Structure 1
Amino acid sequence: MAPADFAAMYQRNRGPLLAYLNRMTLGDHALAEDLVQEVFLRAWRQADSDPAILRPWLFTVARNLVIDRLRARRARPVEAAGADPDKLSDETDLADRVVAVRSVRDSISTLAPDQRRLLFALYYQGDTPSELAATLNVPAGTVKSRSFAARTALRRALGSLAP
């Protein structure tokens, strides 16, 4: 491929490829730029490729480079030299947290309105059974038995969502 043809191909494909890699790298623009350069370096080395299949090939190479970077990150342990071990994050995977929150929300929506209000007051607002008993004008034992029934119903609803 002649240098002028390569330059034209670069101008035609750089923008869409960069946008694709930005999405693939979750907005890490610097990494996306590096990967674009790597893709075009490989294209330069494969200059004798058929121009009709060049664009799909560029996107396939880009995708494979992102996958290779992710695998390389997972293979190497995170360096924490010099960091205070007490301040290191112990968070679980964000996707797992999102799924768990969504499951609880879906399960809570299946409860009766009285059960939802009771669990909300006890676990979100921090009301005690005695405070709720006074508010609802019922004995504290009734609040406890209703909360037990609500938790049981919630547990059943969560169990029905399990695979």
Structure 2
Amino acid sequence: MFTTPSLNPGVCCIEPVRHVEFLCQAVYHGRAPEPSHKPTEALIDELLIYYYGTNLAARRAHLKAAHAIHRMGPIVIDERMQFVLFPITTSRSRNPFWVNLHHFLMCTPAGEGMTEIHFNHGMMKRVAADYNFCEKQYEKALRVLDRSTKIREQSALYITRHQKHSQEADFYN
């Protein structure tokens, strides 16, 4: 049975929580957070399998092969909707803090190894992560989305040109 909260491009972040029953929650703007019994990576993995027929391991293998990103890489869920999640904390329990690139505005240092994440609608979250690391993760996410979008556009352009030439050939034959 599919038990994942409705993860969609409207999610601002997926954050680990310290709760007796829940391991993480999907946070939305203007909506109550949706808690989950699974860690953040398991939640994202279930979303990918259910909706896109792929998994987190396959997306990570693609990041490694296409973009040379070996650790803590952004996961492009759907480049058409610019739904990209990127981790900003490390976790041995595979429960990092994930941010949706579409809703991310900026991050600011908050002192004592903390960073404040600002979202484009005014919400802020304080995270136990280094500011420089957060900035690098943001830059990685932008680079991967840009490259993925360009690859998709080039493929579409090739298909359009190929179809046009084959139609012209059919016309003259």
TM range (shorter): under 0.3
Report which of the two structures shows the higher radius of gyration computed on alpha carbons.
1
Please give the TM-score of this superposition, normalised by the length of structure 2: 0.22
Q: From the two aligned structures, give the one with the greater strand fraction.
A: 2
Greater helix fraction, Structure 1 or Structure 2? 1
TM-score (norm 1): 0.23
